[in-house]
Amino acid sequence: SVFKEFGIRAIQELKVVDTTAMLDVVNKDALRYAHERSAELVGMRYVDGLIMPNPNPEWAITETTRDGMRALVKKAVKDGWSPAELRDAIVNSYEFSEGRANMIARTELATASNHGNLAAWMASGVVMGKEWLLSDSHGDGTCEVCEGNADQGVIDLDEDFQSGDECPTAHPFCECVLVPVTDDQMEE
């Protein structure tokens, strides 16, 4: 839902006249994203279209927890909750520490919103590049991954950053953002 919401916002910000095809792409990409991301969160991953156990399921959760989380995130998006409100709901509903709940809420919402923006930009035909902007929280030189991605400057829209990520977030609590670069800006 967050992916789709931010995809729609990105389309609106581009002020493209005919958005029908773009919305279709964003809807399909949102479903794909949700499918793949949900596998990651339960300790699985997709390899050549097949779901397989992830050998390093660092953030895996149980099926019961997953179902409860899905319902909470759906309610958060529907009701327009902030990441802090979602974190509080998670803390009050499950056996998560406040720190882990905050990490989940902030990271998942940021990840989905960045992917939604990217999907809309790709469908637009207007955006040709992207740039990773380092958040102020990385000003102290503590995140080599994000700093390396930001140092790349503008890259093609379908290219991955040096970390292998197509857009932020690169790690839990990552506050970096992705900005679109239009065809005109690429030429400059």
Cα separation values, 21 from 10, 28, 130, 158, Å: 14, 11, 21, 19
- Per-residue confidence (pLDDT) for residue 156, from 0 to 100: 95
Positions of the chain with pLDDT lower than 50, given as ranges: none
Cβ atoms of 132 and 176 closer than 8 Å: yes
Phi-psi region of 173 (alpha: psi -120 to 50; beta: other; left: phi over 0): left
Q: How much of the chain, in percent, has pLDDT values that exceed 90?
A: 19
- Per-residue confidence (pLDDT) for residue 188, from 0 to 100: 64
